[in-house]
């Protein structure tokens, strides 16, 4: 392997040429097609957290060949994590080539990192040199064969769910009004409404409010305003007649829509508005350039009902052999014991 050179940059000082190289790698390798691997996502986070977001670039034969985005949570101790904190559903090294363990240690040293923790490491990252301590399941909805074939599959795998979904569709159409999906709204007021409704849902269900801070809401607005062929925010709204019954905000890239923040109007809960929203998103996916809806980690009901693909996400950390790394490891263990049941709302 040719000698590699590592250089750390603030996310906001990356040149257009480096951003283009990053985009080229993430768009050409299927394992990096998730919108969370896109430079547009990292740039949006850096707009909301300008002092915390960095990327270490690997140069091979003087050309950029790899990108390692991260943000500090404790710069003094060298604690880092994925860009976007709990808002990001993937971690990883964005590159055509692997790193050996000596090179990973150099990557950490140049980055100023003593510990990089991850809990959403893509299942193919071990091929690039990054290994997890254990794995969790993630799910996706593959629509490559078209919606009609997908729905026939659902009718066979979860017949009760499929039948009940269509029953709710017919019932609400008759009692409230015909269903209509607006696949994307560019109105920032609609995003503000989704955020307010989602925060109310967190409060009512006792989940920690993942949108309470200013930077989280700024990030969602930056992503909503980002509309490129390679990456875009997608704010979808499902109406019954003139009544908004459910909505969703996610991000899309390379034919993948990441299912992220759904919310529904409680007054229409008897019609399963969240389930109907997913049904219409899947139905109209192909017309909007989407072949996969990535449902992320977890075992929520809609994921089990509508997913047809399972993948693995790694959990663990990479560390430098140092006193600061040991301190961070002990601190993590103590925090885990204290907050084992303390969930933050991110879906």
Instruction: Give the pLDDT of residue 1.
Output: 47
CATH 3.40.50.1370 fits 4-136+313-338, yes or no: no
Burial class (CB in 10 A: 0-12, 13-18, 19+), 322: middle
* DSSP per-residue string spanning 87-106: G---B--EESS---HHHHHH
Question: In sequence order, which ranges of the chain are alpha helices (DSSP H)?
Answer: 16-28, 39-48, 101-111, 147-157, 159-175, 188-205, 214-225, 273-284, 301-306, 323-338
β pairing state of 232-240 and 243-253 = antiparallel
pLDDT category of residue 345 using cuts at 50, 70 and 90: low
7-55: pLDDT as tens digits: 999 999 999 999 999 999 999 999 899 999 999 999 999 999 999 999 9
pLDDT category of residue 129 using cuts at 50, 70 and 90: confident
User: 302 pLDDT exceeds 80?
Assistant: no
70-79: pLDDT as tens digits: 999 888 888 8
Higher pLDDT, 343 or 132: 132
Domain ranges of the chain: 4-136+313-338, 140-310
Phi, psi of 67 (to 5 degrees): -135, 130
Calculate mean pLDDT across residues 169-175.
98
Burial class (CB in 10 A: 0-12, 13-18, 19+), 134: exposed
306-315: pLDDT as tens digits: 999 999 999 8
CA 122 to mean position of chain CA atoms: 11
User: 253 pLDDT exceeds 70?
Assistant: yes
CATH 3.40.630.30 fits 140-310, yes or no: yes
Q: Do 92 and 63 touch, CB atoms closer than 8 A?
A: no
Contacts of range 65-68, beta carbons closer than 8 Å, 24 or more positions apart: 65/4, 65/95, 65/96, 65/97, 66/4, 66/25, 66/93, 66/94, 66/95, 66/96, 66/97, 66/99, 67/21, 67/22, 67/25, 67/39, 67/93, 67/94, 67/95, 68/93, 68/94, 68/107, 68/111
Higher pLDDT, 300 or 120: 120
* Fold equal for 4-136+313-338 and 140-310: yes
Higher pLDDT, 122 or 232: 232
Instruction: Give the pLDDT of residue 211.
Output: 92
Between helix 214-225 and helix 188-205 the angle, nearest 10°, is 140
Instruction: Give the pLDDT of residue 330.
Output: 61
Calculate mean pLDDT across residues 164-193.
98
| Mean pLDDT, all residues of the chain | 91
Query: What percent of the chain has pLDDT above 70?
Result: 92
Calculate mean pLDDT across residues 286-291.
96
Judged by average pLDDT, the poorest of 90-104, 169-183, 187-201 is: 90-104
189-200: pLDDT as tens digits: 999 999 999 999
Question: Angle 214-35-108 (CA atoms, 0-180°, nearest 5)?
Answer: 80
């Amino acid at each position: 392997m040719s000698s590699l050179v590592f250089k750390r940059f603030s996310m906001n000082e990356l040149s257009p040429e480096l951003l283009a190289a990053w985009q080229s790698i993430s768009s050409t390798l299927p394992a990096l097609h998730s919108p969370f691997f896109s430079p547009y996502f990292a740039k949006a986070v850096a707009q909301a957290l300008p002092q915390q977001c960095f990327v270490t670039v690997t140069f091979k034969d003087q050309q950029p060949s790899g990108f390692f985005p991260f943000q500090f949570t404790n710069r003094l101790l060298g604690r880092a994590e994925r860009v976007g904190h709990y808002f990001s559903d993937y971690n990883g090294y964005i590159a055509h080539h692997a790193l050996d363990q000596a090179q990973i240690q150099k990557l950490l040293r140049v980055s100023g990192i003593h510990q990089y923790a991850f809990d959403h490491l893509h299942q193919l990252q071990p091929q690039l040199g990054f290994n997890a301590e254990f794995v969790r399941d993630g799910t996706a909805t593959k629509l490559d064969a078209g919606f009609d074939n997908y729905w026939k599959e659902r009718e066979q795998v979860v017949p009760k769910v499929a039948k009940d979904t269509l029953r709710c569709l017919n019932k609400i159409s008759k009692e409230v009004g015909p269903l209509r999906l607006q696949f994307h709204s560019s109105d920032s007021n609609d995003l503000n409404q989704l955020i307010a409704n989602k925060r109310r849902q967190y409060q009512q269900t006792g989940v920690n409010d993942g949108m309470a801070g200013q930077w989280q809401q700024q990030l969602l607005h930056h992503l909503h305003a980002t509309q490129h062929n390679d990456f875009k925010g997608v704010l979808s709204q499902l109406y019954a007649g003139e009544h908004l019954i459910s909505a969703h905000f996610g991000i899309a890239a390379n034919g993948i829509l990441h299912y992220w923040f759904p919310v529904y109007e409680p007054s229409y809960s008897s019609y399963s508005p969240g389930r109907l929203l997913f049904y219409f998103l899947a139905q109209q996916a192909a017309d909007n350039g989407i072949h996969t809806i990535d449902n992320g980690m977890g075992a929520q009901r809609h994921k089990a009902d509508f997913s047809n693909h399972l993948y693995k996400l790694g959990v663990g950390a990479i560390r430098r052999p140092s006193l600061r790394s040991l301190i961070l490891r002990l601190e993590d263990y103590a925090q885990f014991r204290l907050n084992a049941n303390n969930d933050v709302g991110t879906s």
